[in-house]
């Protein structure tokens, strides 16, 4: 599949997740096989107001592979200006500008942003067109099935995005009301795929290769976006690609998992400083060994860790 001039052999991407898909996670996922990834979402207004922390969220480097910068907002002119500024300020040209129209979080939704945009397909088209005219890179869109069960309009919203100039869409098969509970609806993703001329990524409930292949088969999507299934498990990309290619797959050993977890943490420390990186990593670093004996004890140790040395000491205990 293609996103602009970017060719993705298998269409396997790391989905954007606020608070998770920082450079450290994107890098280890890319090394494990992710062909494409998207940054954490960036506020368009914060970019226009020159918030330094926001520009840091959008920082990408060449060793991550192709990365799109994701923005959110509701005003076409501000979205366009933010996209233009991010392109101009980026030392590495992003693979695309991705527009978040699927975030279900209350503070985003209540501002008319994220999934709230699905109330107005006309506004979706205007925003996409404005951003498309402001940048030279491809524009993509992330959507949900709809707002709730009475408003399943992913097809209409996707068509609006396509009309505005989007070159691909990613559909999370849950409604805004579902948040991350229940099951993703593969049928709505299938309907979107059947209705559009541009590529479609399928997103939701992909935690192993079996689910990835099932998602592709049942939806006909061009690619898949792996989100929570990659948290603490970047190896899922190697597993999925092996399955798609019909190759055998050998799961990583406990030591491999620990080594990768610590590498991800070291990268985050380089970017954010030790205290901030360790604090943020607590919510995902223990997941690297969740299926192994001693994982519950490790989680407790890591939740209290304040330094790299303390995290490593905790992993040393589970590895004994």
What is the per-residue pLDDT across 199-208, written as a single tens digit (0 to 9) for each?
999 999 999 9
Residue 203: in which H helix or E strand, if any?
strand 200-203
Q: Is 70 exceeded by the pLDDT of residue 2?
A: yes
Asked if 115 and 176 touch (Cβ cutoff 8 Å), the reply is yes
Tell me how far apart the 2 most distant CA atoms of the chain are, in Å: 59
Does residue 252 surpass a pLDDT of 50? yes
CA dist., res. 250 & res. 253, Å (int): 9
Q: Which CATH superfamily is domain 2-245 in?
A: Aldolase class I (3.20.20.70)
Query: In sequence order, what are the residues at sequence separation of 6 or more whose Cβ sits closer than 8 angstroms to the Cβ of residue 281?
Result: 264, 265, 268, 311
* CATH class as words, domain 254-318: mainly alpha
Section 57-84 average pLDDT: 97
Q: What 3-state class would DSSP assign to 28?
A: helix
The per-residue pLDDT for 295 is: 82
What was the pLDDT predicted at 319? 55
Mean pLDDT of 52-63: 91
CA nearest to 273, candidates 304, 303, 249, 306? 306
Q: What is the mean pLDDT of residues 278-291?
A: 89
* Domain boundaries for CATH 3.20.20.70 within the chain: 2-245
Cα atoms in the Cβ-side hemisphere of radius 13 Å centred on 46: 13
Asked if pLDDT for residue 28 goes beyond 50, the answer is: yes
Helix (H, G, I), strand (E, B) or coil at 290: coil
Average pLDDT for the chain: 95
Percent of the chain residues past pLDDT 70, beyond the cut = 99
Question: How confident is the model over 232-258, as a mean pLDDT?
Answer: 95
**Over 60: is that where the pLDDT of 185 sits?**
yes
pLDDT at residue 257 above 50?
Answer: yes
Q: Where in the chain is the domain with CATH 1.10.1200?
A: 254-318
pTM of the model: 0.94
Specify burial of residue 35 (Cβ count, 10 A radius: 0-12, 13-18, 19+). buried
Question: Pick the catalytic residue: 29, 103, 167, 170?
Answer: 103
Check residue 239 and give its pLDDT: 97
Q: Where are the beta strands (DSSP E) in 34-188?
A: 36-38, 42-43, 67-72, 96-101, 139-146, 168-175
Burial class (CB in 10 A: 0-12, 13-18, 19+), 248: exposed
**pLDDT number for residue 181:** 92
What is the band of 303 on the pLDDT scale with cuts at 50, 70, 90? confident
**Is-catalytic flag, 170?**
no
Lowest mean pLDDT among 94-98, 182-186, 210-214, 291-295: 291-295
pLDDT category of residue 161 using cuts at 50, 70 and 90: very high
Residue 320 has pLDDT above 60, yes or no: no
């Amino acid at each position: 599949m293609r996103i602009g001039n970017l060719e993705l052999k298998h269409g396997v991407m790391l989905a954007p997740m606020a608070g998770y898909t920082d450079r450290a996670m994107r890098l280890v996922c890319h090394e494990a096989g992710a062909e494409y990834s998207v940054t954490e979402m960036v506020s368009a207004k914060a970019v226009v107001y020159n918030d330094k922390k926001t520009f840091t969220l959008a920082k990408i480097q060449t060793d991550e592979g192709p990365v799109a910068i994701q923005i959110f907002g509701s005003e076409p002119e501000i979205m366009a200006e933010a996209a233009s500024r991010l392109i101009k300020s980026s030392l590495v040209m992003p693979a695309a500008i991705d527009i978040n129209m699927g975030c279900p979080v209350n503070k985003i939704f209540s501002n008319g942003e994220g999934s709230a945009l699905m109330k107005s397909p006309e506004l979706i088209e205007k925003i996409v067109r404005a951003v498309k005219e402001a940048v030279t890179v491809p524009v993509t869109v992330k959507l949900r099935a709809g707002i709730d069960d009475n408003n399943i309009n992913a097809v209409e919203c996707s068509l609006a995005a396509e009309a505005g100039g989007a070159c691909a869409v990613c559909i999370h098969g849950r409604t805004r009301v579902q948040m991350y509970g229940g099951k993703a609806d593969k049928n709505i993703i299938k309907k979107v795929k059947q209705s559009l001329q541009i590529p479609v990524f399928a997103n939701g409930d992909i935690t192993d290769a079996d689910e990835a292949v099932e998602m592709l088969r049942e939806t006909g999507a061009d690619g898949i976006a792996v989100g929570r299934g990659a948290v603490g498990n970047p190896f899922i990309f190697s597993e999925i690609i092996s399955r798609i290619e019909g190759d055998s797959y050998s799961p990583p050993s406990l030591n491999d998992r620990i080594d990768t977890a610590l590498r991800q943490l070291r990268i985050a420390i380089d970017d954010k400083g030790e205290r901030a990186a360790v604090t943020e990593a607590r919510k995902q670093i223990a997941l690297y060994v969740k299926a192994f004996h001693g994982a519950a004890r490790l989680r407790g140790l890591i939740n209290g860790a304040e330094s790299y040395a303390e995290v490593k000491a905790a992993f040393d205990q589970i590895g004994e």
